[in-house]
Structure 1
């Protein structure tokens, strides 16, 4: 039996493309979205019209997503992040211990640690230069596709295909029981963590903590305890 069970919770994937440059690549991504049942695509300042004849010619049945208003164009990346439960940035420039903003997980591991419900915003950078450091700062998790060679820069549409397969077609087993942390509590917890980091002048520590917490598959009770802890510490450090 194939397909998702209707009575099981499932995550909603939002594809976000930052300043895409290639019309044909974009068209192929529309086809992939149609293949994998993705109906939420946000495009930040594309270098072409999303209704360009070349896009429509190569998108085939993916045109349906444009016609039904499932593809939106926005001026800033932040405009694409509304209602996101987890924000994932993809990159080909994993630098491990040398750069805390680029400590990355594989798509396979990503499929296991992401919550099974809510909107997961999956961000892909420019074909030529990828994502800037400021754009990486909005992310909860960074992910990279390791090819096992010194050249792991994939074509954009190929990278999208790999992520969509891992996050939608593969069976997701987290191995962690209990209700997931609510989006509201999780965001509130991060706000308190930011207050603490800012008060201590340790902004980099906030981004490290944010990435670690996003990879931890926290349950509801755990989020509640951490929120209260961070809030208590913030009150001690931050004076009105």
Structure 2
């Protein structure tokens, strides 16, 4: 009599373990893909920001500024559009005659390096921002992201400062420009202590060097992600 072969399959426990292991692996793989997409997006935006900044500096140099403006002083920043009235489409990238479908914009602050009006060396700080959605509005009723001035108080050498203006304009991860010197500071956190939501903590790379206000690209009206994707600074002689 021939013996019948016995075929042994997988138990339910083994199947469940295999499926669970596969599921965990897929979760890690999907997380890796999402992280890759995130960093790829950041890299792309930084590349675009650098290109837009080059165009912005070229336009500032091309159109020039009014060096005789009475408000143009060494101890404060002045928005470029206050020194030279140019069309709104010039602040968009690419700069064509229509603003429809434009996602990237630039704005600039200018500060003379010397009080002598014959020395035409100017510190120019360019903000590059991304606008999402045609119906989004920004502070001051602007149709594009523009820097606003916010009051700050703190002693020289401090890392923790107090916002004396609208606290909603500065949040975690924002970059601010000191009004008097043009120094650039990175904000690590706002409201680390819930009892003091008006306090911000600066990154360790640069401690506060003094001043009573900063310039920052605030979030859209109603809240949202910071539109600023890059800040560039140069000295230009006009």
Q: What's the TM-score, normalizing by structure 2?
A: 0.21
More helix by share: 1
More strand by share: 2
Q: Give the greater-gyration-radius structure (CA).
A: 2
Higher relative contact order (CA 8 A, sep 6+): 1
